[in-house]
């Protein structure tokens, strides 16, 4: 983006947005009448493409759910959206791209610059929800999912709880102020892809509060809701091409527009209670079985993503769109989902697994989304045990076939061999060990497969010794070679 580009067009703002070109969807409510009822930590691209979109729709019927967005570190979002009065453009990428001006963010605060402003919002009576997209590392948890009291931010916050730097520290200090004022707690809604995210955050919050004030901890445990959630929508990074596209479509310059696929999903555990926003009215799924939705996504979406990544790269494809356009790979993906993965799942209420599988394939066919297979292929040693091997275990226990399920495993082995032969580094926490295994391969099917399956941090001993699984992997490895 250049200064000339910005100056040649009217900048998006509360004054200018009504002048957007026809076809641009605009906020269907009076922003001057909206109250801030949500404080959100981590207003990055995903939040603005996802939760802020849902609240934008909700404001059309209920003006109590405007957002105060809080950046824990960087002022970048504030600096971009401040001159735009919090407004930005969401480009929904599908076979036909649509553009929507989002107006739900009314305020952006940078916590280190003005922590008292953040505390004031957290302690305000009208604040009913605190939401988070701070990435997994932002929760400051140990590998076991508990509060990491050795994390530098937590060490700092426990020593100075009235001047926190972590998300957990801010949540607890906000709750402490409400407790002291006799106000009810806000609900805390974690929206990062972390299994049992709400439960883990609640445990971390109570552990922190216990160190500050046991009475506060007991009050939080008894009264505060921390629902588990699941979120899903592919959100490519913003670039100058998107800025130019948005400007051409809307007639307004936007410093930080957001793009995502048209598909979006937000599943929330139905424990928010009385006075909660009517999220179901804007397409949020409220359920008592978040784990069921998580498992379906992990195995059907993520598992097939990994399958297409490794098998697709071996065939010379670069993106998911290209891979699913390969008839053989599309057949593999569909058969894998319908015949192998779905039988291992119990559908949560409200989810048709076969329809969900077809929707996934349709998302993969979206020509506007360039999702690179090489990126999906990262961290295979960490992803495959959850995305594929759990399904393999369940299929074996049920006496079902595992021939297709062996394909992504064997394709990963060939992917590692190919990268090593090309001298290309593998992005994986076990990269050095994986390279050592590849360099020591005997060069014949049984020996190669045995060497890979000996990676005990990836393959449980019981699975690596299962004759049915080993035979299936050997067959797939030979066919892919």
Residue 5 scores a pLDDT above 60: no
List where CATH 3.40.50.720 sits in the chain.
3-288
What's the angle, vertex CA 308, arms to CA 305 and CA 312, rounded to 5?
150
pLDDT at 381 (0 to 100): 95
Interval 390-416: pLDDT, tens: 999 999 999 999 999 999 999 999 999
pLDDT at 144 (0 to 100): 86
What's the angle, vertex CA 329, arms to CA 323 and CA 331, rounded to 5?
135
Q: The CATH number of 291-480 is which of 1.10.1040.10, 1.10.10.10, 2.60.40.650, 3.30.1490.190?
A: 1.10.1040.10
Neighbours of 153 (CB within 10 A): 17
Exposure string for 75-92, b = 16+ CB within 10 A, e = fewer = eebbebbeebbbbbbbbb
Cα separation values, 150 from 143, 153, 361, Å: 12, 8, 43
Q: Which of 97-101, 208-212, 370-374 has the lowest mean pLDDT?
A: 370-374
pLDDT at 232 (0 to 100): 96
Residue 1 scores a pLDDT above 50: no
Band of pLDDT at residue 196, cut at 50, 70 and 90: very high
Band of pLDDT at residue 364, cut at 50, 70 and 90: very high
In the predicted model, what is the mean pLDDT of the chain? 96
CATH 3.40.50.720 at 3-288, yes or no: yes
Rounded-to-integer distance, Cα 55 and Cα 36, Å: 11
Interval 406-451: pLDDT, tens: 999 999 999 999 999 999 999 999 999 999 999 999 999 999 999 9
Of 271, 263, 265, 270, the residue nearest 294 (C-alpha): 265
154, 157, 161, 163: CA torsion to nearest 10: -140
Interval 10-66: pLDDT, tens: 999 999 999 999 999 999 999 999 999 999 999 999 999 999 999 999 999 999 999
H/E stretch holding 267: strand 265-269
Q: What residues does 266 pair with on adjacent strands?
A: 231
List where CATH 1.10.1040.10 sits in the chain.
291-480
Rounded-to-integer distance, Cα 116 and Cα 239, Å: 34
DSSP tag of 301: I
pLDDT at 193 (0 to 100): 87
Of 317, 331, 313, 305, the residue nearest 414 (C-alpha): 313
Q: What residues does 70 pair with on adjacent strands?
A: 41, 109
Q: What is the mean pLDDT of residues 106-127?
A: 98
% of the chain residues with pLDDT over 70: 98
């Amino acid at each position: 983006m250049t200064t000339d580009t910005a100056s040649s067009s009217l900048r998006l703002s509360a004054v200018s947005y009504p002048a957007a070109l026809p076809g641009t969807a605009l906020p269907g409510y009076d922003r001057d009448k909206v109250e801030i009822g949500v404080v959100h930590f981590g207003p990055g691209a995903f939040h603005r493409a996802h939760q802020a979109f849902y609240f934008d729709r909700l404001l059309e019927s209920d003006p109590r759910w405007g957002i105060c967005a809080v950046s824990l570190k960087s002022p970048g979002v504030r600096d971009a959206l401040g001159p735009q009065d919090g407004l930005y453009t969401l480009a929904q990428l599908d076979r036909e791209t649509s553009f929507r001006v989002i107006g739900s963010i009314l305020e952006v605060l940078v916590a280190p610059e003005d922590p008292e402003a953040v505390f004031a919002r957290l302690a305000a009576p009208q604040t009913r929800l605190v939401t988070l997209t701070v990435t997994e590392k932002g929760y400051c948890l140990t590998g076991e999912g508990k509060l990491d009291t050795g994390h530098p931010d937590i060490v700092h916050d426990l020593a100075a709880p009235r001047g926190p730097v972590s998300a957990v520290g801010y949540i607890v200090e906000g709750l402490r102020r409400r407790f002291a004022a006799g106000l009810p707690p806000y609900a805390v809604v974690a929206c990062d892809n972390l299994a049992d995210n709400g439960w883990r955050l609640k445990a971390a919050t109570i552990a922190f509060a216990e160190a500050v004030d046991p009475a506060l901890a007991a009050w939080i445990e008894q009264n505060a809701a921390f629902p588990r959630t699941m979120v899903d929508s592919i959100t490519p990074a913003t670039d100058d091409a998107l800025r130019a596209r948005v400007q051409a479509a809307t007639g307004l310059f936007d410093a930080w527009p957001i793009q995502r696929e048209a598909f979006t999903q937000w599943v929330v555990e139905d424990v928010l209670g009385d006075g909660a926003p009517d999220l179901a009215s804007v397409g949020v799924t409220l359920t008592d079985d978040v784990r069921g939705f998580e498992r379906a996504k992990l195995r059907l979406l993520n598992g097939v993503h990994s399958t297409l990544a490794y098998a697709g790269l071996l065939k010379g494809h670069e993106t998911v769109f290209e891979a699913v356009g390969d008839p053989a790979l599309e057949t593999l993906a569909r058969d894998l989902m319908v015949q192998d993965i779905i039988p291992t799942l119990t559908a949560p209420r409200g989810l048709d697994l076969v329809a969900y599988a077809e929707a996934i394939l349709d998302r993969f066919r979206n020509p506007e989304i360039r999702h690179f297979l090489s990126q999906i292929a990262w961290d295979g040693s960490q992803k495959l045990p959850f995305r594929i091997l759990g399904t393999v275990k369940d299929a074996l226990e049920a006496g079902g076939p595992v021939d297709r399920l062996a394909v992504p495993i064997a394709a990963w082995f060939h992917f590692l061999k190919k990268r090593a032969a090309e001298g290309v580094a593998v992005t994986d926490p076990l990269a050095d060990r994986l390279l050592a295994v590849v360099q020591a391969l005997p060069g014949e099917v049984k020996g190669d497969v045995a060497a890979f399956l000996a990676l005990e941090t990836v393959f449980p001993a019981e699975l690596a010794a299962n004759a049915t699984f080993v035979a299936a992997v050997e067959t797939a490895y030979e066919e892919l070679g």
